[in-house]
Structure 1
Amino acid sequence: MEAIKPYKKGAEYSYTLGAFPTYELITGKKKAVRSVYVHSQYTDKESIINTCKAHNIPVLTDDKLFTRISDKENCYVIGVFDKYEDILEEDTSHIVLVNPSNMGNLGTILRTSLGVGIKDIALITPCADLFNPKVIRASMGALFRLRVQMFDSFEEYRSKYKKQEVFTFMLNGEKTLEIQNCPRTDLFSLVFGNEATGLDDSYLLAGTSVCIPQSPEVDSLNITIAVGIGAFLFTHNGR
């Protein structure tokens, strides 16, 4: 079996670090799993071994591997999986992230999206590496319960998914988003920009532009907070 090396973007595989995201990997993307490594000092071996056996997943032991690829001392389970491609559902609502660059933010957004029930995420490239273990860790394995598809441009995304009503989140958005006036629509795409630059003015014409009201004492909200607020309002507005 191929030796597992520290993660590289160009590799054909990635891995989860920790028991919980590994269970999420097995549950959500079991066909992609190559193997699971269990540290000799792990105290709950029986559970993970039984889970792997139920899905015909090889269980291996290599304590040196944990030292080599994990920067956490309390990591006792590693799940190795082949990278894969998803396709979004056509008849669901989407979150669209335009050029997200921070891996921690991307992972947190994935976890938040799953938490509010939005399972289809479009990434406009260039963007953070979806399969970097830092993204997986920040998502707490939520990545494996979502469908995430990458596109070269927003126009490419819209050419394939036209049913969703588009709402772009911008500091200069034309509509202030409040609890009492959140738009109600069966299918929507919530579009968010890069952490540093947001969305450029061309997105004012891409759909309905909205802004989240905030104190004048801050220049903008963190992207993870903005996505959390927007996604919550659109999924809990009494439709």
Structure 2
Amino acid sequence: ENILLLDNVQDPGNVGTILRTAHSFGIDCIYMSKGCADIYNPKTIQSSQGALFYIPVIQTDLVEEIKKLQERNIEVYATALHDKHKDLQDIKPSKKYAILVGNEGQGVRKELIDLSDHIVKIEMETFESLNVAIATSICMYTFKYAKR
């Protein structure tokens, strides 16, 4: 089972794009914090291109959800600019994983990073960060096709 966790992603266009890409890369379920944009916002619906009708989306407390995932042996990979990160290209995900992405301005909350099994950073040459929908897409692609 492959999961996506969204922590306070506020832009409806980003949420819709993430839903669309998640469906394209075989994500089984998306868990969203209560601070995320509404999946029924017209902009979210439009940018999801209908993907929201094919993938379960559950609004929940991510702290509790991460603990439940870990009890089921699903490793959680937080995306963050953190001194203990691993480069995305070096990740060898297990068959069951959860990718945690964060808010457009603040990223993933520290309490969620601290709960995660791994911290991942996308290696880049110029900028420090990317749009959350773009970064999430790169991570999902890499996790789906990573050499195990």
Q: Same fold (TM over 0.5)?
A: yes
Whether 2:75 is the aligned partner of 1:177: answer: no
SS across alignment from 2:37: coil
Amino acid at match of 1:119: D
Counterpart position of 2:136:
227
Distance 2:43 2:59 in 1: 18
1:87-114 superposed Cα distances (whole Å, 9 cap, x missing partner): xxxxx11000001100000000000001
Aligned residue pairs total 144
Whether 2:11 is the aligned partner of 1:102: answer: yes
Percent identity, aligned pairs only, is 33
Counterpart position of 1:115:
24
Counterpart position of 2:63:
155
Counterpart position of 2:77:
167
1:14-45 superposed Cα distances (whole Å, 9 cap, x missing partner): xxxxxxxxxxxxxxxxxxxxxxxxxxxxxxxx
Point out where structure 2 has 5 or more consecutive residues left out of the alignment. none
Q: After the TM superposition, which of the residue ranges 97-106 and 128-137 deviates more from structure 2? A: 128-137
Whether 2:119 is the aligned partner of 1:209: answer: yes
Whether 2:120 is the aligned partner of 1:190: answer: no
Whether 2:9 is the aligned partner of 1:93: answer: no
Amino acid at match of 1:114: H
1:119-168 superposed Cα distances (whole Å, 9 cap, x missing partner): 310101121011112111100000000011111x3212124433210100
- Contact between 1:119 and 1:145, CA under 8 Å: does it hold in 2? no
- Contact between 2:69 and 2:75, CA under 8 Å: does it hold in 1? no
Please show how residues 49-128 of structure 1 align to structure 2 within 5 Å: 92-128=1-37
Distance 2:14 2:127 in 1: 19
TM-score (norm 1): 0.57
Counterpart position of 1:136:
45
Amino acid at match of 2:80: M
Amino acid at match of 1:112: T
Counterpart position of 2:127:
218
Point out where structure 1 has 5 or more consecutive residues left out of the alignment. 1-91
SS across alignment from 1:218: coil
4+ residue runs over 6 A deviation: none
**In terms of Rg, which structure is larger?**
1
Distance 1:109 1:204 in 2: 20
- Contact between 2:81 and 2:121, CA under 8 Å: does it hold in 1? yes
Larger RCO: 1 or 2 (CA < 8 Å, sep 6+):
2
Q: After the TM superposition, which of the residue ranges 107-116 and 154-163 deviates more from structure 2? A: 154-163
Taking only aligned residues, the RMSD between alpha carbons, in angstroms, comes to 1.5
SS across alignment from 2:124: coil
Distance 1:148 1:111 in 2: 12
